[in-house]
Structure 1
């Protein structure tokens, strides 16, 4: 036999045995592979990110809940294997297992734009509980009572200068301007209008680019966001450093903002939060409060304009409170009287949620709804698994504030504020 042919046959035999061994190994691995949720991971690398973006979360989620499972399904977004937890049971599981089998997670593209990434891994576990305590202390109903007059005062000034002089206004940018100024005041005791306006302009560049395609080339929105994020962090670091210096030198005036609390809180080992950790948390608070609040305000006004009979009832309730005030600033007791107005706001938030949900990461393998979620997988809970579901909200497309009268929706069906340790503190003011 020809030597070349003999060698070729030998190679083929070796390759054949190697292929057979590989198939057996893959089959063995498959027999031990975890029973992950049903679903599709889409195309290599991009997964189902394009379809998610094009169809939008409500349609994307509804289609997969119907096709795969109403409890949990798998997909691939942002280059990560991901499980979508659905329905009230899914929401409850995510909220109840924070810091147990689940931990907060941010996409790398967003972290790169917004945060000092070098302190996330080591600091996040320490900062999260400290932040939760600081935030909830300042935003508990008992503490918020003192902020209602300030909010009312800032709102009146804003309406007088930005709304009243004009026959026509653009609601969304004005809502952004007001909510950002309020956030800066509450979080950092900053009320210099020019400085706040400059920060807001830069902040919009950052948040707009953060949700664009993460292509970091000159001229792209994402590249502008990365550069803007550095400017934002540098500015915050100057504020934080100056405030810490005031504390050390005992020159700081009495303040009751979140930054002051962060500068003073320590963990169980007596360690103060470092300035980069504080910056990360302040930015996180600004992102969470500013955009969601301005979107909520905008859609409440939109829904009132589209439903004159509901507007009339809100107006009547507000006028009853105003007539009892004699031009005094609002108090917490006044806010508690706004029952119907709050039902209108809740229905608006249900139909047009300011936040779609949040990501988590599996800290270990765990079981849910008969399936295994492997360690390292990302979890996404999303308001659209319940807010648009006729099982929990009959005729879900209809604007109907009466849904929230009496007992209201079933537990964990209305979740615009999230839940558990990471629940939006703003719920304390309204719920």
Structure 2
């Protein structure tokens, strides 16, 4: 009888669960249907209201999702430039319309389009972030021109600049030498991108917040990887989704940074002699009035901005040097000349960094051909016109590095690797934009330069290398990266 009661209870529970599931599915379908109707109604209403406007040429794509999948898939297929290049050819080399991330979007192209957005921040346009980034960084995603944005820039501009950062050259060189000793020496086969990630996060942890505990560094590395995966994911915040995981990872990092910052403020208040002279200390000495959680949130955004992008650049520098022996030899000669001036055990200094002109030109050419930063969004603050077309208020605008970086009008023989493009005055204004431009230019540009050059010095003065895979696929998710980590074979550099 107990078994029969159990079976009856199970049957009732099964029926109830099934009915609940059917109801939930029905409700979801109704919501989806109504959302689709509302979408088309709003679009029709907008189009009828703007029928007198001369909108840019282009296409909207699929209902609701627009051309978002085509845009994202072009990166996953290893041809991130395809989306913009095809539409520039089909519609206009100056501007075209599309629908990205469920928003009507005008993609502005060429140096004129870049200048339009960079020079009109908080005049015609303002920064706009996709909902995924706003969920991950709820207080960091702000316009630089706003009061909040001005505060953020004030926090970092006294520390994250060429003069101040080069004081850290010796520390960074020491970290790099330790990194190569642990992960590269005595190995003949390595994968570059995972090791580049470890180097990048190790340097950041030590220089920013004086963290060098391997367990904590490994934790940060794992969390930042999860965080990056949620950047361009579907905007669905449910348990198990990339966005949900990214939000949790961001909170975990933010909490760890909070504890470090809180204790550092206490130590500074008590004038302890053991306070480390890292970037965090300098920020707090200049901006001590800000709460630890606020500083943690801003540091999280800055660290995340440099983590993936610098890793990508370093990986592709190694890749191009493996493929171009004559470029490798030029970089080697420059770095060996610097090494010859150093005594045994002497670390790099700011003068050494300033001598790495050709090496930096190589890094710049890598970022031209394989930009770590694909582009960014803005939002129209008002109705305005560009290139003879109307941009309605509220539209999103997008600029892309690929509209100029591989354009023969600005870079002759654009597919050819040529570091001499950056000699003298370099490329024409608004044509080379791996770090953006205007008030929203990446604040970590100078920090990234130092991290990259120190890495280049250490790897090329220690090793020669060959690529294991000749045709490894490149994917963009959210930054360019070889699909299999770019495995190489190492040989010790001849003395």
Instruction: Give the TM interval when normalised to the shorter protein.
Output: 0.7 to 0.9
Residue 253 of structure 1 and its aligned partner are, at CA, apart by: 5.0
Q: Does 1:393 align with 2:416?
A: no
Q: 1:72 to 1:275 in 2, by over 3 A?
A: farther
Q: 1:239 to 1:123 in 2, by over 3 A?
A: farther
CA distance in 2, matches of 1:413, 1:123: 22
TM-score normalised according to structure 1 size? 0.85
CA distance in 1, matches of 2:220, 2:151: 26
Deviations 1:207-257 (A, max 9, x none): 123323333333333332233233223223323333334445555854554
CA distance in 1, matches of 2:46, 2:224: 49
> How is 1:9-408 mapped onto 2 (pairs within 5 angstroms)?
29-32=49-52, 34-56=53-75, 57-112=80-135, 114-115=136-137, 117=138, 125-249=146-270, 251=272, 253-263=274-284, 272-327=289-344, 328-408=346-426
CA distance in 2, matches of 1:213, 1:27: 27
TM-score normalised according to structure 2 size? 0.74
CA distance in 2, matches of 1:258, 1:375: 40
CA distance in 1, matches of 2:46, 2:319: 56
Q: 1:273 to 1:372 in 2, by over 3 A?
A: farther
Residue 405 of structure 1 and its aligned partner are, at CA, apart by: 2.7
Contact 1:131–1:262 (CA<8 Å) still a contact in 2? Answer: no
Match in the other structure for 2:491 = none
Residue 195 of structure 1 and its aligned partner are, at CA, apart by: 1.0
Aligned residue for 1:210, secondary structure, equals coil
Quick check: 341-350 or 91-100, which moved more? 91-100
Residue 414 of structure 1 and its aligned partner are, at CA, apart by: 1.0
Residue 205 of structure 1 and its aligned partner are, at CA, apart by: 1.4
CA distance in 1, matches of 2:242, 2:48: 47
Aligned residue for 1:83, secondary structure, equals strand
Aligned residue for 2:330, secondary structure, equals helix
Deviations 1:21-72 (A, max 9, x none): xxxx99973455x433222221121010011122333111011112222112
CA distance in 1, matches of 2:295, 2:106: 31
Q: Structure 1: any 5+ residue segments left out of the alignment?
A: 1-24
Contact 1:265–1:273 (CA<8 Å) still a contact in 2? Answer: no
Aligned residue for 1:94, secondary structure, equals helix
Contact 1:362–1:377 (CA<8 Å) still a contact in 2? Answer: yes
CA distance in 2, matches of 1:425, 1:123: 11
* Greater helix share, structure number: 1
Q: How many residues align?
A: 400
Residue 136 of structure 1 and its aligned partner are, at CA, apart by: 2.5
Q: 1:189 to 1:372 in 2, by over 3 A?
A: farther
Residue 406 of structure 1 and its aligned partner are, at CA, apart by: 3.3
CA distance in 2, matches of 1:99, 1:253: 43
Q: 1:395 to 1:166 in 2, by over 3 A?
A: same
Contact 2:142–2:149 (CA<8 Å) still a contact in 1? Answer: no
Contact 2:127–2:142 (CA<8 Å) still a contact in 1? Answer: no
Contact 2:127–2:143 (CA<8 Å) still a contact in 1? Answer: no
Match in the other structure for 1:5 = none
